[in-house]
Copies of this chain bind each other. A is one copy, B any other.
Amino acid sequence: MRDAVPGGTIVRVRDVDVGGKRIIVIAGPCAVESEEQVISTARVVKAAGALLLRGGAYKPRSSPYTFQGLKEDGLAILGKARDATGLGIVTELMDARHLEAVGEYADAFQIGSRNMQNFTLLDEVGGTDRPVLLKRGMMATIKEFLFAAERVAARGNSRIILCERGIRTFETATRNTLDLNAVPILKHETHLPVIVDPSHGTGKRWLVPHLARAAVAAGADGLIIEVHPNPDEALCDGDQSLRPDDFIQMMREVKAIAGVLGRTM
């Protein structure tokens, strides 16, 4: 496939080209909690250079007793944030029956780690022409990850962005083990853009900037980062969310790395 598309496929999300010379950063809160939280975060991350806004309206959590998301209300809030800032929206689709509702607001559908082999969902987004941000399953080999992408493409939608987000190993010092070996391999095996999620890949706020730099140095085309105005009060993943100031600092460092690799931000 590389041969056919020498420079790599560009996947356009709203007005942002993913997979080109420019490193793109998608940022925002783990979960949509309130209009105020989302819009203020969107403004901060945009000012710091983020090009797309992330935020979950439906939250697939292991325990049935924790916060499960604002659902349709959350989607509407994301829509308001887009109106307010112009940032395109990346948000997770968890259920094929939500395709229309989520599709009303999402500039790209995110398929989460736990759903990487939810073939129903892959087939559904494969039948749309909307960009798909496909996260690697925490238990998926690179080969299985590529099969999941092929499943989407087989339905006609090849606007796929691959996302390495850490795998499950015996190590318990971090939430997951970010597998940066996967970045050059995925770039080699496909023509698709490859981004990295160091927030889930580490699970710890202070580690995120280190691994964000490393991801870009390894050749990633972008990053997806959790940012929260007040992580200690976050309803979801507060431990791994950057504070706005941390994010601004991280963006400066990543930009410097991008520069020496001949890339822009």
Tell me the minimal C-beta distance from A112 to chain B in angstroms. 9
The 0/1 profile, CB within 8 Å of B marked 1, for residues 88-106 of chain A is: 0000001111000000000
Task: Flag whether A233 is at the interface (Cβ < 8 A).
Answer: no
Number of copies: 4
Q: Which residues of B contact A214 (CB under 8 A)?
A: 180, 214-215, 217-218
Task: Report the minimal beta-carbon distance from A170 to chain B, rounded to whole angstroms.
Answer: 5
| A201 to B233 alpha-carbon distance, docked (Å) | 38
CB distance from A193 to the nearest CB of B (A): 16
Q: Is there contact, CB below 8 Å, between A151 and B64?
A: yes
Contact (A177, B167) CB under 8 Å given A147-B63, A207-B185, A219-B210: yes
CB distance from A164 to the nearest CB of B (A): 11
CB pairs A–B below 8 angstroms (10 shown): A60-B117, A62-B117, A96-B120, A139-B168, A167-B177, A170-B170, A188-B206, A213-B218, A214-B214, A214-B217
Among A108-141, those with CB < 8 Å from B are 114-115, 117-120, 137-139, 141
In the assembled complex, A259 has its CB within 8 A of some CB on chain B: yes
Closest to A114 in B: B117
CB interface residues, A 218-265, toward B, < 8 Å: 218-219, 256-257, 259-261
Is B219 a contact of A217 with CB atoms below 8 Å?
A: no
B181, A173: Cβ atoms closer than 8 Å: yes
CA distance A218 to B215 in the complex (A): 9
